[in-house]
Amino acid sequence: MQQKRPLANSKKKEKVAAEKVAQEQAELEAKEIARVAAEEEKVRLEQAEADRLAAEEKARLEQAEADRQVAEDMERIRQEGVALEGQRAARWDREKAAADNEAQETLRKQEEELKRIEDEAADREAQQRLREQEEELKRLEEEARNKKEEAERLAKQNAADAKKPKNAVPAHLAEYFAEMNAKKNEPQSSSANLDDPGSKSKQVWNAQTGRFEEVFDDDDDEDAEQTATQSKREELLRTGWTLEIVDTVQMEPPPGTKKKKVYTAYIIIVKARGADGAVLETWQVHKRYSQFRELHNNLAKYVKTARVIKFAKKRYFGNSMAPAFIRQRREQLQTYLDAIGDVPEMAHCRVTLNFLKRDGSTHESGEAM
């Protein structure tokens, strides 16, 4: 038993030693494999790095080639642009020169046309002056003939009157005296009779009509002054006028009228102007809406143009004294007066002159506003 135990230990040691040698051999083989793998990995990495460097160099070369190509293309495009700009500038110069020539030609033709028109206008003006002179000469000759005929008629009438008895009644007064005698035989009325010594009227001879006319003596001086003023204004208005409604005023109806309602009067500044446009005289008149409407209606009777001019409409409902309404109507009436002034046959119509030459604030004429 004791001899078998050392033998077993010896085998065991040999086995351990063999295992140790095998393990060392395996480790050496593993290390060799690892070294070989490391070397292969190193070679692979070196090859990869070489490939990368080669690829980068190739990419750099390609990029450089591409940049060179782009630079060449840009230079070519720039040169083409310069050439194109030069062509465009040359074409623009040619077009500008052509346009300048055309403009000069057009201007020359326009100057020639203007000169021709001026010559024609001068010829027409000369012909017009010649016609006017001929018409004026004919008018003067006609006036001379009429004056001559009137002088001959008066001479014959004077010769015939000289042959009549001195107490004979002139023919142009016979009709008047017949009327007077007929009136004397008529029954007396409540109104003043022509022969009534208490009547405030008188008979005045009118040389233009060849008749006696009845003139009332109430406030002779005042009426004469008003008549003279209105006659003067009418003469001034015939040369030209301008109107402006400057304000409005609320007025009471005149005493004795049926209307008791306050109405609006429009204050009109009338400026009579001469042939050169200078203001000869200025006065103001007060007119109410109903007087404007009466003017419009009367003008429409005599002047066809007045029928198409827009006139401010009458207000049947609402407050006619409202400031906004009065302001609107004032603007409408001013527009209407301006329209009258633009039409000579309306501006110089007697209806218009009568409307402008006397104040209407104390005259009753129809309805209030």
Model pLDDT, residue 4: 58
Model pLDDT, residue 366: 31
Model pLDDT, residue 89: 92
What confidence tier does 5 reach under pLDDT thresholds 50, 70, 90? Answer: low
Within 8 A by CB and 6+ apart from 325, the residues are 315, 318, 319
Cα–Cα distance between 67 and 324 in angstroms, integer? 82
pLDDT at 242 over 70: yes
Summarize the confidence of residues 179-191 as an average pLDDT. 48
One-letter amino acid at 213 equals E
What confidence tier does 170 reach under pLDDT thresholds 50, 70, 90? Answer: very low
Nearest to 286 by CA among 321, 314, 256, 245: 245
Cα–Cα distance between 100 and 106 in angstroms, integer? 10
Nearest to 299 by CA among 352, 341, 344, 342: 352
Q: 263-273 and 241-251 as β-strands: parallel, antiparallel, unpaired?
A: antiparallel
pLDDT at 192 over 50: no
Model pLDDT, residue 333: 93
CA-based end-to-end distance of the chain: 163
Question: What's the CATH number of domain 220-357, 3.30.1520.10, 3.40.50.1220, 3.40.50.300, 3.30.70.1350?
Answer: 3.30.1520.10
For residue range 284-330, what is the model confidence (pLDDT) as tens digits? 899 999 999 999 999 988 888 888 888 888 887 777 788 899 999 99
Model pLDDT, residue 308: 83
Model pLDDT, residue 241: 78
For residue range 18-61, what is the model confidence (pLDDT) as tens digits? 888 888 889 898 889 999 999 999 999 999 999 999 999 999 99
pLDDT at 73 over 50: yes
Q: Which of 16-25, 146-155, 179-188 has the lowest mean pLDDT?
A: 179-188
